[in-house]
Structure formats: structure tokens, C-alpha cells
Amino acid sequence: MHTWPYPFLFAHRGGGTLAPENTLAGMAEAVKHHFGAVEFDVKLSKEGQCYLLHDDTLDRTSNGHGLAAEKTVLDLLALDAGSWLAPRFAGEPVPFFSTIATYCKAHGLLANVEIKPCPGRDAETGTLVANATASLWANATVKPLMSSFSLTALKAAQQAQPALPRGWLIEAPWPDNWQDTLQDLQAVSLHSDEALLTEARVHAVKAAGYRVLAYTVNDVARAEELKRWGVDGLFTDALDQMQSLL
């Protein structure tokens, strides 16, 4: 099985529910709660610059509106990505990928970079995010783990930067072709909705030579069960409740 340098817990979207998602404030919460790894979403601005955002629109997690793919760097710089969660986060910026990379390296945070393409930009996003990741972590001993629901984006990342580790994100239904897909991607891991996982499925994936990660696990008892089954990593929003599993 592939060497696995990542810790068991990843802080989901930076700080889980304790800070605005996909922001520097979120990464600071991960550090505060002694997490060794963070997960976050990266997509492209109109010009092709990599920045952090989960949705295809700005409305839910900023004071902006409209399609993310249409926003320029200048548009993004003007946004408040914190007030939606709490007044104390007012003025929190939408961060660019390079800013987050610098923070992670400075604070010893390993990263799971989720490639989150806007509609119709899968291959472009996979290529540019992979290239940026390789450049930003060029001197790092442990490279970020790249993941995506988009097979097109993952294939593009594979072609652009084959040395970066890749994980395939899945949601229901459980794919019958999981082994063929992982092999085709030369992936190291399968990242599953935790509700899809059974002990038999975990054992099957691991027996085939792949790691298993589960999202989004916020219940300690469920986290402990998944760990007993052999799951290699969990993404959690409940940073404050998962301390016993660090």
C-alpha cells in the first residue's frame, strides 16, 4: 500500500463550523485546535487565478452575488467572506490559493486540495490547480493530496502533475467500478461520503491497495467506528469535539 503521510483528522474547509469556510480564519482555527491537516476547495477566477470557494456562486459564503466563474481577481478582492457567519469575522477576505499555501507551510499544516471546478471548466481547473499546487509546494517533503468529484478534473491533474497524490471523491450511489476508476487515475485514495461506508467496503478498498477517507464526520462515536474499520482519514466540521482522536 502507498506510503501515507497524512494524519487521521482533516479540518473540513479549514475551520469546520468554527470559522467562515475556506478562509484564513478557518485555517487559524485548525491550528488553534491542534489539527495537522486541512481540507479546502480551490476553483478559478475569470482570468484563471486559483482561489478558495466551495459553491458555484458567491451568495452563500460572501456578500457577493452571481456566478463565481465570472468574477475577476479585482471582484474577489472586494468581497467580505466572513460576515455571513458572525460579525467578528467581518472583512475576512476570499483567499487566493497562494496565500493559503503560505499559511499552511508556515504552520505545519498538511493539505487536501479539493479541485472544485465551475461548470464547464473541469479540465482547465484540474490542470491549473495541479500546476499551482506543484509550484507552491515545490520544496515540501509531503505534497498536498489532490481530490475531486470530477473525474475530468482529476485526469487533467494527473496529466499535468502525475507525481502529486490523487484521491477520488464519491457520493451515492456506491460505484461498482471503483477499482477500475482508481486504477485509471493512479489514485492513492477513495474519499467517500461516510454514510456509504460499511466495514466490508472499507476492507475491500484497502485490500485492493488504496486508502479510505470519509466525509463529513462530526460524531465522535461514528469516527471511532470508522477508525476501527481501518478508515485512514476523516474530514470533520467539529474541530472542538474531535480532540480525543487527534
What is the domain class of 9-56+96-245 according to CATH?
alpha beta
Q: How far apart are the first and last CA of the chain?
A: 23
pTM of the model: 0.98
| pLDDT above 90: residue 3 | no
The values of phi and psi at residue 189, to 5°, are: -155, 155
Peptide bond preceding 175: is omega within 30 degrees of 0, i.e. cis? no
Domain residue limits, the chain: 9-56+96-245
Give the span between the Cα atoms of 131 and 102, in whole angstroms: 16
Report the Cα 84 to chain-centroid distance in Å. 21
- Annotated catalytic residues are 12, 54
| pLDDT above 90: residue 2 | no
* Model pLDDT for residues 145-173, shown as the tens digit of each residue: 999 999 999 999 999 999 999 999 999 99
Strand duo 9-11 + 110-115: pairing: unpaired
Give the span between the Cα atoms of 5 and 149, in whole angstroms: 22
